[in-house]
Amino acid sequence: QVSNISKQMIPKVEAYHKRKLSDKFFCVYLDATYLPLRLEHLVAPSENIEVWTDMLQNMKSRGLKQVELFLSDGVVGMKTALARTY
């Protein structure tokens, strides 16, 4: 039953991740969480400058142009990724 529900939800989750974003956010919180799941693909297999840059560029391409405050822990490459994108 869980597998059937998951299959039905995949298109909805993908649409959510591709939706248009507001052009201005006051605050964006960036952090990573590892969940050991059986997946055919990974959102991001690791935390590094390329992964964070890709994610930020994706958000920008979906409409997010201005952020007043980015919050994050000391993840590798975050400052450089933010400087490249915003």
Cβ burial 18-57 (10 Å sphere, 16+ → b, else e):
eeeeeeeeeebebeeeeeeeeeeeeeeeebeeebbbebbe
Residue 32 is predicted with a pLDDT of: 76
* pTM (2 d.p.): 0.76
The single-letter DSSP state of residue 70 is E
Q: What pLDDT, in 10s, does the model give residues 10-39?
A: 999 999 999 999 999 999 999 877 666 665
Tokens matching residue 17: 């991740």
Q: What's the rounded mean pLDDT across residues 35-58?
A: 76
Q: Where are the domains of the chain?
A: 21-85
Q: What's the rounded mean pLDDT across residues 68-73?
A: 93
**Torsion from C-alpha of 46, 43, 25, 61, nearest 10 degrees:** 110
**Percent of the chain residues topping a pLDDT of 70:** 85
Instruction: Tell me: pLDDT of 65 over 90.
Output: yes
Instruction: Tell me: pLDDT of 51 over 70.
Output: yes
